[in-house]
Amino acid sequence: MTIRDERRKALAEIRSAKAEINNQRFTAGITDEQRDKLEESLLALKKIERQLITDIKKELISKLKTDSKPLKELSEKIKESTEKLNVVAKKIEKAAIAIEILIKAVEKGISSGLL
């Protein structure tokens, strides 16, 4: 199993545990101390969940950056090789630019805490 798969599995388990904690902490008959422990656990799980999500986003940005570089290089080569393929090269270049814009938007969202 890959790290990505392990992260997804961990996120699923965290979300399941959070749901169960939410159900239990409002159950009649538990003590204030038990409720406090459940709330502490919930906060800890939320913190780990946010970190895992941040790690996944960073990994995605890194992969997009790596994968988009050859597109730009390829579009330049196509432009140089023939005028007929210029339309294709421009479309590829637009796609590469759109990916770069997406990367910047996600990075800005992460740095501002929106994502």
Average pLDDT score over residue span 31-48? 94
Confidence (pLDDT) at 42: 94
Looking at residue 40, its amino acid is: E
Confidence (pLDDT) at 82: 74
pTM over 0.75: no
Confidence (pLDDT) at 78: 78
Query: Tell me: the pLDDT tens digits for 78-115?
Result: 777 777 677 788 888 999 999 989 888 888 888 888 77
Average pLDDT score over residue span 38-51? 95
User: Is the distance from CB of 71 to CB of 96 less than 8 angstroms?
Assistant: yes
Confidence (pLDDT) at 21: 94
Q: Which two tokens stand for residue 109?
A: 């969202």
Q: Which of 71, 77, 105 is nearest to 91 (CA)?
A: 71
Classify residue 75 by burial, with Cβ atoms within 10 Å: 0-12, 13-18, 19+.
Answer: buried
State the virtual CA torsion across 77, 82, 85, 87 in degrees, nearest 10. 90
State the virtual CA torsion across 59, 65, 68, 74 in degrees, nearest 10. -140
pLDDT band at 14, cuts 50/70/90? very high
Q: Which conformational region is residue 30 in: left (phi greater than 0), alpha (psi within -120 to 50 degrees), or beta? A: beta
